[in-house]
Amino acid sequence: MPKLIACLLDQGWFAVLARIVLTFAFWGSGLAKLINFQEGVAEMAMFNLPQPVLMNVLTIITQLGGSLLIIVNRWTWLGAGALAVFTALTIPLVHHFWTMQGPDAIKAFHTAGEHVTVIGGLMIVAILSRYTGGAGNGAQR
C-alpha cells in the first residue's frame, strides 16, 4: 500500500469522515423526516405502513440513533445492526421488485441491490469497530 494512502487511513479524522459518509443516507433521511414531520408521515402512508405517525417516529429514531452510534463509534454494532435490519426490511416493504412490471421493477431491483450493498458496509463497520476501542464495541487488544 502506498505510504500516503496508509497515512490517510491511519488518521482518526478520516475514520470519522468514513462513518459520516457511510451513514449519510440514514441521517439525511432521518433529519428530513424530523424537520418535515408531516411529509414523513405521508411517506409512511404512501407505502401503506400501519400507524404512519408511529412508523415515522420509529424511523427517525432508528435512522438518527443508529447513525449517531456509528459516527461516534460507541455501541457501533447496535447502530449498524439497527440500520441493517431497517434497510433489509425496506426491501419487502418498499422495493418489492418481484411484484412490479417494467421500468418500476428494474428500478426497485437495483435499489434493493444497493440496499444489500449498504448492509454489507454496515457489517464491515461493525466488524472494524471491535478493533478501534470504542465503548461498547468489544474492542480486541
State pLDDT tens for residues 102-117: 999 999 999 999 999 9
140 lies in a domain?
no
- What is the chain's length? 141
- Please indicate, yes or no, if residue 136 is contained in any of the structural domains: no
Confidence band of 137 (pLDDT split at 50, 70, 90): confident
What cell numbers appear for 97 in the block? 421488485
The count of other CB atoms within 10 Å of the CB of residue 15 is 16
Domain assignment present for 141: no
Does any domain span residue 46? yes
Instruction: Examine residue 14 and state whether it is found in any structural domain, yes or no.
Output: yes
Q: Does any domain span residue 42?
A: yes
pTM summary value? 0.90
pLDDT band at 141 (very low <50, low <70, confident <90, very high): very low
Which domain does 109 fall in, by range? 3-129
Q: Using CA of residue 116, residue 119, residue 123, residue 128, what is the dihedral sign?
A: positive
Report how many domains make up the chain: 1
What percentage of the chain has pLDDT greater than the value 70? Answer: 95
Q: What is the pLDDT of residues 25-73, one digit of tens each?
A: 999 999 999 999 999 999 999 999 999 999 999 999 999 999 999 999 9
pLDDT in the model for residue 131? 85
Closest CA to 138 of 60, 54, 80, 98: 80
What distance lies between CA 20 and its chain's CA centroid?
11
Query: Is 134 among the domain residues?
Result: no
* Spatial separation of the C-alpha atoms in residues 139 and 116, rounded to whole Å: 26
| Mean pLDDT, rounded, for 63-88 | 97
Q: Report pLDDT for 101.
A: 94
Cell numbers 478520516 correspond to what residue? 14
